[in-house]
Structure 1
Amino acid sequence: MVSQPLSASLSAAPPASTRAFPPAPVDPGGLAEALRPFGESRMLPRAAYTDPAVFEWERRHFFGGGWMCVARASELRVAGDQLAADVGAGSVLLVRGEDGAVRAFANTCRHRGHELLPCGSAANAKAIVCPYHSWAYTLSGQLRGAPGFRGTAGFDPSAWPLAALPCAEWHGLVFVDGSGGAAGPLPLAALDEVIAPYEPQRLVTAAVHGYDAAANWKILTENYHECYHCPAIHPELCRVTPPRSGENYASTGAWIGGTMELRSGAATMSLDGRSNGVPLRGLLGEALRTVIYIQIFPNVLLSLHPDYVMTHLLVPVAADRTRIECSWAFAPEATARADFDPGYAVDFWDLTNRQDWAACEAVQRGLSSPHASPGPLAPDEETVYAFVTTVARGYLGERVVERAVEATAELPLPRG
């Protein structure tokens, strides 16, 4: 994505009295270098990518202390659908209720703390039942049965509901605030105009791939934010989109991204530039020649194409390991065709993903050297700078929320 002047003002670290988190165990001098103006700054200190203590701080505060995407809404289609997912240092149980709403609960029974569902697994049932002692809860989290407690003096089932967590469905994604409510509303209002014409909640997920990368989650995210590396490792991508095309959105911190353009003759991002799908019905004009790349902090990479939407969900496992779930969703009128094959998009991005993960793993190995030190950012790495400064401010104690920007760049938006 082409570099444009940053519109967002970069605030200094918040005073101690207004910090949302305690500062991370990262060298403040290195963070000050990362927060210098674009063109003068450096990358984050090496410890941000390699130190287990920094990773544990991130897991508690970035991934467990605010909003985090935990699932696709399509994984919870009907009443009784249940899914357990990682959130910070613990896990959350998602449930689709009889009223159609998705609710989130801490994945821990109120009796002895047993997890209600193994993390990463799914089920469908009319109740939430702990597999340890069979305590049973309604889909709204109220205790409805505790074997052996009937008639016990002083035992009030209404006093033992599951611990509810703030939960929001947003354009086909499910977000949970692992802090229990300190983060405020989901900070994505400014992004609605960009995402809405693609109607992700209407699309049909036709393929899901899981990856395990031996790299820090921030290295994967930084790689996503620039095409400076594309000529060196992505010849297939460069054949369908010019690496220096497009522009960047003014960053709010809660989300960062920009656009790239398709080459003449290419209908979409595929190995031959051809599409086996159909254009998404909400797109017209320039939107049919544009690909949008958005990162929602901390763990969503959302790629919007003229005929499909690709979503990466990052789950940090260790300082040097990240699980990635990549899904591809298409218009229902395309997936309903007998001859529909999502391979044109899946094969292209599976190849591109593997090229990226290999590069990111090499970065992780390089940063493990005690001689590695933070380098400068290239002029084409403005969105990397927006991400790095968001992380640096977070390390200093600032909660990542949607900040106001001084001006909004004149950028191509999809129009319906």
Structure 2
Amino acid sequence: MQEHSLMTEHKDDPRYALFETLIGCVTDNKPHEPFETSEIDVRYYTDDEWFKHEQETIFSDVPLILGPSAMLAEAGQHFTHDHTGKPILVVRGRDKKLRAFLNVCRHRGVRLADAPEVSRKPTFTCPYHHWTYGLDGTLTNVPVEDSFPDFDKSCRNLVQLPCEEAHGLIWVNPNKNGTLNLPDFLGNIANDLDNFGIADDHFFQQTVQTRKANWKLIVEAFQDGYHVTRLHKNTVGGFFMDCVAAQETVNQHIRSIVARKELADAIELPQAQWDFRNHVSFAHFIWPNTIMVFHPDYISQMALYPQSSGETVVVHSCVIDSKPASDKEQAHFERGFDIIENGVFNAEDLHTCEQAQIGMDSGANDTLVVGGHEGGLRAFLNICEQSTGDFDRFIRQPNAKLDIVDLHDTADSR
């Protein structure tokens, strides 16, 4: 009866069902899923040829989140993005529409704009010969144009990329011939993005750094409830119950939830009083490279851009409910961001991922162990298999013979 009520009353908010699952884990003192142990070959994180295979099968034609749409609130605001291997320019036009272009002049191929942080200008002028483009990518001025007889400017507008503003986020496919099709891509994980209110939030801060760790290690760190009270024991670990977490896959995404200690107070509360930011913490994975962590009073969006098998660019964007109304509010959010960015993510999560990469490169282990409280990690690996294939070459159950294969042949043959 309770399930039927939940389905009808909250059919457009799938967070309730996972919240109820987590309450069941506490009241029944049972894990979300039956325990199992498996091992995974360390070459999954270290092999350069396999990395190239991932780039081709996962990242070559896929919607990516380049940031919260609140970054570009005004016409003329723009930023450049180089972490996908393609030079990208994202612009808010005078018509308020977001567009993405290859950041390349159509004359001699020179880089057009240089704005790693949000900037604002009315047009874009190439530094080489001063060809000028409007915010919509239209070529508007060619100096000494009569020296180009029979030249049609309309054929030399900037090359546009698939781009859409949806659910408060900037979505771009770096493949100019690709598509987005976000409704099919997202499934009902889109409901979560809307229900958390990202589209109404204020852009607060962004950091960009390069870390010496495989991108999958970083994703896995944010799908692992096993480490929270241990690795983070001196920072945020005390706010959480130990190993009380649940997750479910949605298309190629993962909806994850971890119990804060306040969840004990929610057990006797009606569903209308469940708090998705204070009783629990959601940490969603949006395929292929974005983690959304929904903190009590702000949202972290962490995008991971693999540069090599052992190096990843990490872009951490923070949005809050509204622009701080006072210096005191500004200081509050700055302190909160500093604690998460430097005290938790950098000093603990990302540092540990780098140490794991060093350990794997050392040859100490042929395989790594995945246990019962690491279900989110296992879910992520299964999702990767859907795009790359050959998962069975890397993972095995204990006491089974490990199939050692030539990964270079594997990558070349696909």
Q: TM-score range by the shorter chain?
A: 0.7 to 0.9
Greater alpha carbon shift after TM alignment, 93-102 vs 362-371 = 362-371
Specify the SS of the correspondent of 2:380: helix
Alignment of 1:311-326 (within 5 A): 311-326=301-316
The match for 1:304 is 294
Specify the SS of the correspondent of 1:179: coil
Larger radius of gyration between Structure 1 and Structure 2: 2
Distance 1:182 1:208 in 2: 28
Change beyond 3 A, Cα 1:137–1:231: same
Alignment of 1:13-412 (within 5 A): 39=36, 41-43=38-40, 45-86=41-82, 88-118=84-114, 120-150=116-146, 152-186=148-182, 187-235=185-233, 236-248=235-247, 250-264=248-262, 284-287=273-276, 288-332=278-322, 335-340=324-329, 341-349=332-340, 350-353=342-345, 354-396=347-389
Give ranges in structure 2 of 5+ residues lacking alignment.
1-21, 26-30, 266-271, 392-414
CA-to-aligned-CA distance 1:347-388 (integer Å, 9 cap, x gap) = 431311121112111110111134532334211111111111
Change beyond 3 A, Cα 1:352–1:245: same
8 Å CA contact 1:133, 1:147 repeated in 2:
yes
Give ranges in structure 1 of 5+ residues lacking alignment.
7-37, 268-282, 399-416
8 Å CA contact 1:316, 1:322 repeated in 2:
yes
Specify the SS of the correspondent of 1:93: strand
8 Å CA contact 1:60, 1:89 repeated in 2:
no
Greater helix content: 2
Specify the SS of the correspondent of 1:298: coil
Distance 1:374 1:386 in 2: 18
Change beyond 3 A, Cα 1:57–1:110: farther
Change beyond 3 A, Cα 1:266–1:330: farther
8 Å CA contact 1:289, 1:306 repeated in 2:
no
Letter in 2 for 1:206: F
8 Å CA contact 1:63, 1:87 repeated in 2:
no
8 Å CA contact 1:207, 1:342 repeated in 2:
no
The match for 1:404 is none
8 Å CA contact 1:64, 1:87 repeated in 2:
no
8 Å CA contact 2:187, 2:251 repeated in 1:
no
Runs (4+) off by over 6 Å: none
Distance 1:92 1:327 in 2: 18
Q: What is the CA distance between 1:97 and its match in structure 2?
A: 0.6
CA-to-aligned-CA distance 1:169-194 (integer Å, 9 cap, x gap) = 22322111112243441211311222
Change beyond 3 A, Cα 1:266–1:322: farther
Distance 1:325 1:396 in 2: 28
CA-to-aligned-CA distance 1:187-240 (integer Å, 9 cap, x gap) = 113112222222112222334344432211111111111021223311132211
Specify the SS of the correspondent of 1:286: coil
Distance 1:75 1:56 in 2: 31
8 Å CA contact 2:204, 2:320 repeated in 1:
yes
Specify the SS of the correspondent of 1:244: strand
Q: Report percent identity of matched pairs.
A: 24
Q: What is the CA distance between 1:337 and its match in structure 2?
A: 3.8
The match for 2:403 is none
Change beyond 3 A, Cα 1:77–1:141: same
Specify the SS of the correspondent of 1:293: strand
Letter in 1 for 2:294: L
Specify the SS of the correspondent of 2:190: helix
Specify the SS of the correspondent of 2:144: coil
Distance 2:335 2:244 in 1: 22
Distance 1:213 1:292 in 2: 24
Change beyond 3 A, Cα 1:329–1:89: closer
CA-to-aligned-CA distance 1:372-415 (integer Å, 9 cap, x gap) = 323342111111111112222322399xxxxxxxxxxxxxxxxx
CA RMSD of aligned residues (A): 2.8
TM-score, normalisation: structure 2: 0.76
Distance 2:145 2:53 in 1: 40
Letter in 1 for 2:344: T
Q: What is the CA distance between 1:301 and its match in structure 2?
A: 1.0
CA-to-aligned-CA distance 1:103-122 (integer Å, 9 cap, x gap) = 01111111111111237254
Q: What is the CA distance between 1:153 and its match in structure 2?
A: 2.5
Distance 1:206 1:158 in 2: 38
Letter in 2 for 1:391: C
